[in-house]
Amino acid sequence: MISSRRKTAAVLAALAVTVTLAGASTAYAEHQEVRKPAVASVTGSATFELPYWKDKDVRSFSFDAHGAPYTHALPGAPQGLPFDAEGTVKVSHYFADRNVIHTAEGRVDCLVTAPHTATLTAVITKVSPGGPDWVGKRMGFSVHDGGKGEPDRVGFSWNGLNLDDKGQDVPVGTCMAPAPYAPVVKGGYTVKHAELPTPPWKK
């Protein structure tokens, strides 16, 4: 009788160990799933002002940009680059002196981040009637996410900030934009930083 009880206890103990190990294995797998590589992003909408030119115009940008590493084939980089991105940019500018609003939309093609900071570019796909001749052009944007401690800020690659030595506008390269110099006065942005990933074929 005692031997039978000991055998039963041993079997139960073995089952308990098996269940524990299975549970630990499942928890580890779920943990690994949660720890998938992060993807950078910039989201939000805000109105900002020019620090060097106070006026009654209202300017705002909306961003919904997300990293999509190694997805855009280019000559010399057929498998894409680590800062490839996707998403949209929307621009709105109310010109007070003419009482008109011009808007534009663009397709994000590049995004690179650092903690609280991002630079992105978008190729403009649509401009409202009477707006600037931007369709097909790449425009640059920068964002500073101030969090709760300071105001958010933005920068952009036009309005005299992308000129050659003759004072002419020049094409904007991918992810190229000035520092985020203009303070946000309404709304805000969220920058999610992610390190640029290693090429999949080198892992």
Query: How many CB atoms sit inside 10 A of residue 154's CB?
Result: 23
pLDDT of residue 110: 97
Give residue 53's pLDDT: 87
| Model pLDDT for residues 156-193, shown as the tens digit of each residue | 999 888 899 999 989 999 999 999 999 999 999 999 99
Choose among 120, 114, 43, 35: nearest CA to 84. 120
CA 137 to mean position of chain CA atoms: 20
Residues in the chain: 203
d(Cα 120, Cα 157) in Å, to the nearest integer? 11
pTM of the model as a whole: 0.80
